[in-house]
Chain A
Amino acid sequence: MSTTAVRTAPGRRAPDAPAGEPGAGTGARAARGRRTGRVGPWLYLTPMLASLVVWVYGPLVFTGVLSFLDWDLTSDRRPFVGLDNYERLFGEPEFPQAIQRTLLYVVLMVPFATFVPLGLAIMLWKRPGRGSEIYRALLFLPVVLAPVATAVSWQFVLNPLQGVANATLGGLGLGSDRNWLGDPDTALPVVVAVTAAKIVALNMLLFGAALAGIDRRGIEAARVEGATEWEITRFVVWPQLRRTTVLLGFVCVVLAGQWVFTNVAVLTQGGPDGSTDNVYHRLYTYGFTFFDIGAASAAAVVIVLALTALFALRVLAARVTRRFARARPR
């Protein structure tokens, strides 16, 4: 943009010509051009920045303020309570337990966001054809279905008395009396599995896009050199997908808690005994079931701070990696 601002008309001197030389009369115009060059980008950015301030950072600050108040959403009274909401948040067992379960969700979801779709994508990429296209389409189907509709469908499948899951297991002689969503031992893994079905499909598509950028000639060369399929995957394909894998893994760490929200809300409402609750569902519960807006805002602030720390760590790790890469002898 600055290039455009200082461009001169044909036949004229460059705007930075010394005074007294031909074209020096255009100095003021040049200075104005430089000013425009500095201001211009900000003008272009203003709508986006205004939107961010109004819709993101403004509400964020407002949420921070609300976290110091005792408010029930409808009352005119909003007394200042200092850090009471934060003390209550960590003084009662629900929120700390929700943090632990959010971390558990992340740990369980990461393989489904990275290695499983990676394996499927490579498998389909290596065997192109009509069959793999159909298989890919079938795998991708859950992504385009409405999340709540999908969750309700899973309710029918997992119904302990009449569901397909127990009927199938019963037919195989593996027992037909499991209450998948009502048992604290199975509810969380089931929520992860139901969510994973969607994430695997989506990330498989993203890995497929990354694989499309790989030059197949290198693979052919490796094959000519006698490399096995595993060696080709391990030493030729995987290194080229490492950055995509790291990115999708990081996205999973940040968003896994939100991905499971719909399934938690529809299938278990955080139960049984809070075994599927996570920080996002707890925040929703504080805010829109208990109408404890102070606690909900405090929870939101804690989540934002945790995610900010995570991003800071990611940036720090990237810098350290780059520094070591530069320092390494070539």
Chain B
Amino acid sequence: MQATRTVATGTVAARIPAVPTTRARSRAGGAGGGGAVLARRSVLGLFGLAALTACGADGGGSGGGGGKTVTLDFLSYNYGTPDLGGQGTQKLIDAFHAANPDIRIRPQGVAVKDVLTKLRTDTAAGNPPDVAQIGWSKMAEAYANLPLVPVQDLVSPADWQAHVAGMSRGVLDAVRHDGKVKAMPYTMSIPVLFYNADLFRKAGLDPDRAPRTVAEIKDAALAVTRTGAQGVYFAVADAGKSDYLTQSVIASNGGTLLRPDGSPAVADPAAVGALTVLQDLTVSGAAPAVSANDAVAAFAGGKLAMIVLSTAALTNFEKAANGKFDLRTAGFPRFTDAPARPTYSGAGLAVLTKDKARQRAAWRFVAFLTGAQGFTVITRDMGYLPLRPALVTDPAHLADYFAQNKRLLPALDQLDAVTPYTFFPGRSANQAVLALQDEAVEPIVLRKADPARTLNEAASKIRSLASRS
């Protein structure tokens, strides 16, 4: 915040000569002149000037209403990364600066798994960012423990409706919390099946007929392993410590994370069955028992035939595959006869500033990022989904992109069927996610732990965490 103050103060200081001089002249003229009076008023003017400067220092500008520049701190886990997500974020900020010269964005990068740590320590130090990109798996704890200002409350109901008019209704409904959108859906994605068509051909498989069920995926993977390559990887043991893919496989197998009474359902038969299926992939040799990061690297290197992962990985995979292998995508696979029910991953934009003027500026930033121009960059450059479906066919935005690039279409087809992300209750929600991921999902899928017993232990721990809240 120190730098924010400096910037704002500097901006005010640049205007200093005009403000007191005009006022002093006006007052001096009105009083009929007089050297002593003028001198006294000049001194008063200087005090006023100092007060103005101090106001600028404390408030950081008037928030887009008074002609002063406002600098907003923006915490983002995409920003600063060397991949396309980082470049896309920079592009968004540059475009916002061009369209809003009175607001400056000062981005801060942070590792995705450390977002909550950074936000909570900054908040404890009285210095939270104005706007933050928070992953949905961390959002429940953010709602409970951080001073978020619901984005829906930042503007009038009419302005809110005008902004969200073209957005995906399914996603907006899914992210609503306590009847209100508290964090604006921003970089959203759903898991899909990425596959290497060249490895399919080498294994004698038809790349035009992508596997649609887990059973078909297993068969294809075993065929691929016979050629010396790796078969398939479900990235449920997520490096970012999110359980979006765990939720997707459990929901697609007919289960859920929480029962209607709020108690954990992670040890129910559907959940146990879903993870048993994934364990079978590892045990049978269809899937390598490695971390998600290692599997992503192997797929990008052309050594893994299939990976089930968020569409956020698309642009990086496209870059890695360019000229090396034929990259294709298919929808999230079915676990039963019922349609797949993937949940979304990615992040929302939350506003934390308490200052009204800064909130106004923050809303303009959020509205820009989630407007037509924002989602064009988010999709084209970062690989996340366009949450404004009309952009897909809009020649001014993404029509040409989707005409040439069909890889996001399977995800768009499933967008309306997206399952809401389920939050564990209480202020230890993130700890419950970690308990599920680190103490159950990873040992079951990668290290052959007994699914029923391990998930029962995890359910017990999650219950205990909820009761502590």
Contacts and interface: CB of A to CB of B under 8 A. Distances in A.
B427 interface: yes
A160 B443 contact: no
Contacts of B289: 179, 182
A181 B446 CA distance: 12
A4 interface: no
A273 interface: yes
A271 interface: yes
Interface string A272-284: 1100000000000
Contacts of A159: 294, 297
A233 B201 CA distance: 65
B212 interface: no
A182 B123 contact: no
Interface stretch (A5-13, A286-294, A305-313, A322-330): A286-294
Contact of B290 (A73, A179, A291): A179
A161 interface: yes
Contact of B298 (A74, A161, A182): A161
A147 interface: no
Contacts of A155: 293
A321 interface: no
B280 interface: no
A73 B297 contact: no
B290 A161 contact: yes
B397 interface: no
Q: Which of B116, B297, B301 has the most chain A CB atoms closer than 10 A to its own CB?
A: B297
Interface residues on A, range: 20 to 34
Contacts of A179: 289-290
A161 B294 contact: yes
Contacts of B116: 291
A75 interface: yes
A161 B297 contact: yes
Contacts of A289: 117, 430-431, 434
B378 to A, nearest CB: 28
A74 B124 contact: yes
B291 interface: yes
A273 B116 CA distance: 23
Contact of A74 (B123, B230, B430, B446): B123
Given A161-B303, A162-B303, A273 B443 contact: yes
Given A162-B301, A181-B291, A288 B121 contact: yes
B428 A290 contact: yes
A189 interface: no
A289 B116 CA distance: 8
Contact of B438 (A181, A182, A271): A271
B294 A73 contact: no
A145 B399 CA distance: 48
B145 A72 contact: yes
B380 to A, nearest CB: 30
Contacts of B447: 182-184, 272-273
A73 B442 contact: no
A161 B296 CA distance: 10
Given A73-B121, A273-B443, A182 B291 contact: yes
Contacts of B439: 273
B304 interface: yes
A182 B446 CA distance: 8
Nearest to A268: B291
A179 B303 CA distance: 16
B431 A74 contact: no
A237 B265 CA distance: 67
B146 interface: yes
Interface in A136-194: 155, 159-162, 179, 181-184
A74 B294 contact: no
Contacts of A75: 145
Interface in B294-325: 294-295, 297-298, 301, 303-304
B442 A271 contact: yes
Contact of B120 (A162, A184, A291): A291
Contacts of B121: 73, 288
Contact of B146 (A74, A181, A272): A74
Given A72-B145, A73-B124, A162-B303, A272 B446 contact: yes
A162 B230 CA distance: 11
A74 B120 contact: yes
B145 A162 contact: no
A72 B298 contact: no
A73 B290 CA distance: 35
B460 to A, nearest CB: 12
A290 B446 CA distance: 24
Contacts of B294: 159-162, 182
B288 interface: yes
B434 A162 contact: no
A155 B438 CA distance: 19
Contact of B230 (A73, A161, A288): A161
10 contacts: A73-B124, A160-B288, A161-B230, A161-B294, A161-B295, A161-B303, A182-B290, A271-B442, A273-B443, A290-B430
Interface of B: 116-117, 120-121, 123-124, 145-146, 230, 288-291, 293-295, 297-298, 301, 303-304, 427-428, 430-431, 434, 438-439, 442-443, 446-447
Given A162-B298, A273-B447, 9 more contacts: A72-B145, A73-B121, A161-B295, A162-B301, A162-B303, A182-B289, A273-B439, A273-B443, A289-B434
List the 5 shortest-distance A-B pairs measured between CB atoms, nearest first.
A161-B298, A288-B117, A290-B431, A73-B124, A160-B290
